[in-house]
């Protein structure tokens, strides 16, 4: 099974954008790219603020400042994450590319984000 990476918001600049990551590599991608501001246990349906780094410069040993993008990450399910970030093209592209670099596959924009839309 592949891990799909997909922009959920429209193309072009915006104030906020959302990138979906869904599949078995979600945990790997988050552990490599996301430094949460808190070390509390994280379960589905919770929200975390933190820093997304596209260059593997994330240290899990401390909460010091790292270069990267301020993001809010939600976990709708164990195998899904949504990254809410600045809507500029560079920020979105960096998040998508880093997720691809760590095991994700770019999903076609015409694909539905999820197979369970009827449950929303």
Q: How far apart are CA 120 and CA 24, in angstroms?
A: 22
Whether 65 has a pLDDT exceeding 60, the answer reads no
pLDDT number for residue 61 = 45
Of the two residues 65 and 71, the one the predictor is more confident about is 71
- Tens of pLDDT, residues 2-52: 999 999 998 888 899 999 999 999 999 999 999 999 998 888 889 999 999
Is residue 52 within a helix (H) or strand (E), and if so which, with residue range?
strand 47-52
- The model's pTM: 0.81
- Mean pLDDT, to the nearest integer, of 72-100? 94
| Contact assessment for residue 2 and residue 99, using Cβ atoms and an 8 Å cutoff | no
CA distance 109 to 49: 26
CA pair distance 19, 92, nearest whole angstrom: 8
């Amino acid at each position: 099974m592949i891990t799909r990476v997909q922009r959920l918001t429209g193309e072009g600049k915006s104030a906020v954008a959302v990138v979906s990551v869904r599949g078995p590599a979600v945990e790997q991608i988050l552990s490599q790219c996301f430094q949460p501001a808190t070390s509390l246990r994280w379960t589905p349906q919770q929200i975390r603020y933190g820093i997304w780094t596209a260059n593997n410069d994330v240290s899990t040993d401390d909460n010091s400042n790292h270069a990267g993008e301020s993001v809010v990450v939600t976990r709708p399910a164990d195998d899904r994450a949504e990254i809410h970030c600045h809507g500029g093209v560079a920020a979105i592209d960096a998040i998508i590319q880093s997720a691809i670099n760590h095991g994700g596959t770019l999903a076609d924009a015409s694909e539905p984000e999820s197979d369970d839309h009827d449950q929303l």
